[in-house]
Amino acid sequence: MKALITGGAGFVGSHLVKRLLEGGDEVYVIDNLSTGSIENILNEPVLAELVDRVDVVFHLAAAVGVRLIVESPVNTIETNVHGTEKVLALANKKRKKVVLTSTSEVYGKADTVPFREDGDLVLGPTSKGRWSYACSKAIDEFLALAYHKEKRLPVVVVRLFNTAGPRQTGRYGMVIPNFVKQAILGHPLTVYGDGM
């Protein structure tokens, strides 16, 4: 199999790259090597060439990290929505399969457990930048599913919950690595607001 991984140098993407290569697959990666920008995703000639070469696109590129999302909601929305829009449009032209990574954040304030894919989404107010990430990823899902329904593009949506493991950093406000670091150093754990 030949695969393109957007965001392939990131935490989740780098593990997927490693696993696919170990399985003998051919892998192409597009990544801007920093979070929060869509420059490489929107380089359409490069993206189009890579989509043309592969059998499947794993779209992992996104604005991530609580700090970035809260401080830069415009960047978050533009990165997530426009990047996904370009990936889906190019994949559709070439009829390539797409695996779109979304997030458990789309469940928002829902309190029905266990969460269900067909459950209602309950987001907070638009005046809170925190919800820009959840909303932008929900739009990504709507767009991917619309491409499937209207244009028969083969799409799979995967909602990731808190991911943790080797090579993950707390640099952008990721909760688990920050808690681990604080615990190892014997520092109090940082909790914002009521932790919800």
Residues with catalytic function: 133
End-to-end Cα separation, the chain, in angstroms: 41
DSSP symbols for 30-64: E--SSTT--TTTT-HHHHHHHHHH-SEEEE-----
Instruction: Please tell me the chain's helix, strand, coil percentages from 3-state DSSP, rounded to the nearest 5.
Output: 45, 15, 40
Tokens found for residue 38 = 């869509």
CA distance 36 to 21: 26
